[in-house]
Chains A and B, each alone.
Chain A
Amino acid sequence: MITRPSLRTTRECLERAETARTSAGVLIAAGDDWFVSPLFYSAYHLVRAALIDDPIFDSPELLRARDARLTPECRFLTRHQGRLDAEGRSLGINDVVGILYPAIAVEYARLHMASRAIRYGDGLGVITAQSVHDDYAVIRDAWDSGLLSAAETDTTTNDWN
């Protein structure tokens, strides 16, 4: 099995997010629906940057207070979905976004759905290109505004508790 080293710093993730956004722009200019995939991965790397940068992972107490399933290792998650095995249910990035960043959870979920629809289905279908742009903008704005920091957000808005 071939494994690739994942990006381990906020800066690396942000650079990758920007590369993916540039690629999406090229495909948008060409009128190609495949722009959805790099745009989703730009959002994915923004979320990974946020997780690596989030001070909540420096505080076991804050982590436990937010959700008992969160561990310091979640800071460096790379897989989208969790897994079920003999030891129970592990978290994926999609889960952690729902727990820590509920303000972007719906947009991130639909952007991931759109990316899967493009890669594995016959196109966007009932998800519009405009919603893809809008969902990405919500995530991008949240990062640019410094809102992707669970240590500073109100836990009462989190349905996962």
Chain B
Amino acid sequence: MNVRPESADLAASIGTLSVDLVGRDNLRGLQVFIDNLNHVGTISVALYDNTDSAQKNALVELADVERAFFDDAILSFSFVRDIDHAPQSLEPSVRHFSYA
């Protein structure tokens, strides 16, 4: 059985790589939630520019994040106006990373 990283570390690693790849200059904010029980997570991305091409460029980078953590997490993405509008979780098993 694979040994998986603890979710707090995983959320931070996924978040840090996402910020690096999408780019700080493009990001109003970014948030990662990972459930420690099943390693299912969401990356919520608030872009300064929400044009068609900017969103597509971000998705190309997020696909690279997904590939990098393919065996560690099941990820989905959402675009939000700012991370205050991102999905929240009060579940005790959920770990989170935030960049703003």
Contacts and interface: CB of A to CB of B under 8 A. Distances in A.
Interface of A: 81-84, 86, 88-89, 98, 105-106, 109-110, 113, 116-117, 121, 125-128, 130-131, 134, 159-160
A126 B47 CA distance: 9
Contacts of A121: 78, 87
B55 A109 contact: no
Contacts of A105: 63
Mostly, the A contact residues are mixed
A159 B2 CA distance: 24
Interface string B50-76: 101001100110011011001111101
Contact of A84 (B39, B63, B64): B39
A126 B50 contact: yes
Given A84-B39, A110-B55, A125 B74 contact: no
B81 A126 contact: yes
The 3 closest A-B pairs by CB, nearest first: A126-B50, A106-B59, A126-B79
B27 interface: no
Interface residues of B, number: 30
A128 B67 CA distance: 27
A98 B38 CA distance: 22
Given A88-B2, A106-B60, A128-B52, 15 more contacts: A83-B74, A84-B38, A86-B1, A89-B71, A98-B66, A105-B63, A106-B63, A110-B55, A110-B56, A113-B77, A121-B78, A121-B87, A126-B79, A131-B52, A159-B64
9 contacts: A84-B38, A106-B63, A109-B77, A110-B55, A110-B59, A113-B76, A125-B80, A126-B47, A128-B52
B81 A116 contact: no
Nearest to A109: B59
A98 B71 CA distance: 15
